[in-house]
Amino acid sequence: MGLKTSLYDSHLREAAKIVDFGGWDMPLHYGSQIDEHHAVRGDAAMFDVSHMAQIDLRGERTAPFLRRLLANDVAKLREPGKGLYSCMLRDDGGVVDDLIVYAMTPTWFRMVANAGTRAKDLAWLRAAAAPFEVDVIERPDLAMIAVQGPKARAKAATLFTPDAAARVCALGAFASAAFALAPVFATAEFRLPDAAASASGDCLVARTGYTGEDGFEISVPGFAGPAVWAALRGAGVLPAGLGARDTLRLEAGLSLYGNDLDEEHDPLASGVAWTVAFEPSDRDFIGRRSLEALRAAPSLRLRGLVLEDRGVLRSHQPVETASGPGAITSGTFSPTMNRAIALARLPAGSDGAAQVEIRGRKLAARIVDPPFVRHGKILVPM
């Protein structure tokens, strides 16, 4: 038996197929992974992401600490609630983990990192935070639900009072708002009061996601998770599992830690070079010196592949290009495109045609720039 989120019983009531995911018992699907995928692309669906590591960082020097720790620069977060995506790096530029961090107050930041790297991340954070006297506080008491799709914001807004819903729906990308949670759980349609003056963070709503569609990630106390889930079901939001989450994120060209990101490769070779803030030049973040040398002469890039022949693309399959060999890091069948697609780490300069070796056969593929699909639209030539 693995670890369980506070929504585990809710998944069982929906007849979810439960699988082990990094030591957690999580829903793979609720009957049809394909239907769940299409629900996110065309309507709205929700995912239990409570297994993610939510971590509070508190202290007078939290901002300077994060400017040293992260490849991206939290100095960009000039307003409370703003967030950014970044990586923690080793000195050699290898990626310890990718994460989102929100600036809640000048002395309080909320970090959301990957579930499978929780223990490693906490040890890394605490060692790096000690000289800055920053407290690293894990928040296993919190649940998180991601509501994603073109109708996600409208349906999620039913959780809130009209004033609070207006604030939530006005959030820009990578922005969040904190609310105090109303102690009303007797009905499936509880509402969250607009308590802008409260910094309790009992409920944190962020306009973020991992699907290439619009939506929110909603963090609430674990005991409130089932009520929020039920309220969203009542608003017509379908449940979706890990299977659809993976096909959606791959269509959106979003990197997965352990596949497309790892400690052996730097962000410049992993599709997240845009998250490295080299300016200002005097910010000495961990890994900077290595990345400065690597960006002058990059040898690898993360590119997209579309399979021209019939077959299924999977991680670790070898790829041949005119510029040299590479390998698939993530592969799947795209329900939106009705084609096999992949992310692959290839020699810099690779373009045009490629061949993928699948069970001893070499199949034709085309090198493209991800994303493949965003906001329901196919973005690569078919």
Do 313 and 216 belong to one domain?
A: no
Q: Please report whether residue 60 resides in a domain.
A: yes
Helix %, strand %, coil % for the chain, to 5?
25, 35, 40
Do 198 and 311 belong to one domain?
A: no
Q: How far apart are CA 240 and CA 112, in angstroms?
A: 20
Do 285 and 305 belong to one domain?
A: no
The pLDDT score that the predictor gives to residue 166 is 87
| Average pLDDT for 203-210 | 94
The pLDDT score that the predictor gives to residue 182 is 53
| Average pLDDT for 104-123 | 96
Q: How far apart are CA 43 and CA 59, in angstroms?
A: 41
Do 234 and 364 belong to one domain?
A: no
83-115 b/e (C-beta count within 10 Å ≥ 16 → b): bbbbbbbeeebbbbbbbbbbbbeeebbbbbbbb
Q: How far apart are CA 251 and CA 336, in angstroms?
A: 8
**What's the distance, CA 115 to chain centroid?**
11
Mean residue pLDDT of the chain comes to 93
> Residue 298 — very low, low, confident or very high, per pLDDT cuts 50/70/90?
confident
More confident residue, 196 or 293: 293
> Residue 378 — very low, low, confident or very high, per pLDDT cuts 50/70/90?
very high
User: 87 pLDDT exceeds 60?
Assistant: yes
Do 163 and 289 belong to one domain?
A: yes
Q: Please report whether residue 379 resides in a domain.
A: no
Q: Please report whether residue 202 resides in a domain.
A: yes
% residues pLDDT > 70 (the chain) = 94
Q: Please report whether residue 378 resides in a domain.
A: no
Do 288 and 332 belong to one domain?
A: no
Helix or strand (DSSP H, E) at 100: strand 95-105
Do 251 and 307 belong to one domain?
A: no
Nearest to 70 by CA among 128, 133, 139, 130: 128
CATH assignment of the domain containing 128: 3.30.1360.120
Q: Please report whether residue 207 resides in a domain.
A: yes
User: 39 pLDDT exceeds 70?
Assistant: yes
> Residue 119 — very low, low, confident or very high, per pLDDT cuts 50/70/90?
very high
Three-class SS of residue 65? helix
Nearest to 238 by CA among 23, 32, 25, 17: 32
Do 55 and 144 belong to one domain?
A: yes
**Two structure tokens written together for 332:** 């799947």
Q: Residue count of the chain, please give it.
A: 382
Do 240 and 351 belong to one domain?
A: no
Predicted confidence (pLDDT) per residue in 211-267, tens digit: 999 999 999 989 889 989 999 999 999 999 999 999 999 999 999 999 999 999 999
User: 16 pLDDT exceeds 60?
Assistant: yes
Q: Please report whether residue 86 resides in a domain.
A: yes
Do 212 and 308 belong to one domain?
A: no
Q: Please report whether residue 380 resides in a domain.
A: no
Q: Please report whether residue 381 resides in a domain.
A: no
The pLDDT score that the predictor gives to residue 183 is 45
Do 337 and 313 belong to one domain?
A: yes
The pLDDT score that the predictor gives to residue 185 is 38
Q: How far apart are CA 125 and CA 57, in angstroms?
A: 9
Q: Which domain holds residue 340?
A: 300-372
Helix or strand (DSSP H, E) at 378: strand 377-378
**Strand 238-239 to 45-48 pairing:** parallel
The pLDDT score that the predictor gives to residue 160 is 85
Do 85 and 205 belong to one domain?
A: yes
Count of domains observed in the chain: 2
| Average pLDDT for 25-53 | 98
Three-class SS of residue 135? strand
User: 101 pLDDT exceeds 50?
Assistant: yes
CATH assignment of the domain containing 338: 2.40.30.110
Q: How far apart are CA 27 and CA 372, in angstroms?
A: 25
Predicted confidence (pLDDT) per residue in 346-365, tens digit: 999 999 999 999 999 999 99
